[in-house]
Amino acid sequence: MIEYSTKSLVLDEENINELDKLVYLYTEELGKVVARAKSARKITSKLAAYLEPLNFIRVRLVEKNGFQIVDALSFDKIAASQQNLAISQFIKEMTAELQPDKKLWRFIRQSAEKNFSYRPLLKILGFDPDFARCHICDSPSVVYFFKNDQIFFCQRCFLRGSKVPKDEIVLI
């Protein structure tokens, strides 16, 4: 059994079983972690308030057959706007577990003072829009990113929309 204590951002949470939650964290030292929070849905749970998305928490994790949250304490929060929630989902889906990235962590911490933005995030994740080209017409002026296929589109091709997938588009 290994114990970790690290700063993290709560990206998302899912209810499992009757009383437990599955919490998606992006941690400073471990990268993305999926951890179980036992009895977090109980009315008397002390963890529930800290495990809300967009909370920065100091978390204590125990690893034994997966991660389990033992303790959490909030120290900051990002404004809960639709864009910030969408970008936290984007980080959850586009990062691999247990792959820490110091640049991404700095970006996340700096975003606590202002709203998230896709352009610098895509650059950190290796999808730099400055060097991207439209998937259909090869234009360098890209505006949209399709995360499922990891491709870019320009405004003209996106609005024409003949072969452009309509769901999961991220406006840069």
> Facing residues of 14 across strands?
22
Pick among 2.40.50.140, 3.40.50.150, 2.40.10.340, 2.40.160.20: CATH of 1-114: 2.40.50.140
Model confidence pLDDT, tens digit, residues 46-95: 999 999 999 999 999 999 999 999 999 999 999 888 888 989 999 999 99
Of the chain, the end-to-end C-alpha distance in Å amounts to 42
pLDDT at 171: 80
Please determine, for residue 164, whether its predicted confidence score (pLDDT) is greater than 80: no
pLDDT at 148: 87
Please determine, for residue 162, whether its predicted confidence score (pLDDT) is greater than 80: no
pTM for this model (two decimals): 0.91
Within the chain, all domains assigned CATH 2.40.50.140 are found at: 1-114
Q: CA-CA distances (angstroms) from residue 132 to 86, 118, 135?
A: 22, 14, 9
Model confidence pLDDT, tens digit, residues 91-116: 999 999 999 999 999 999 988 777 77
169 — pLDDT class (breaks 50, 70, 90) = confident
Return the structure tokens found at 88.
């936290």
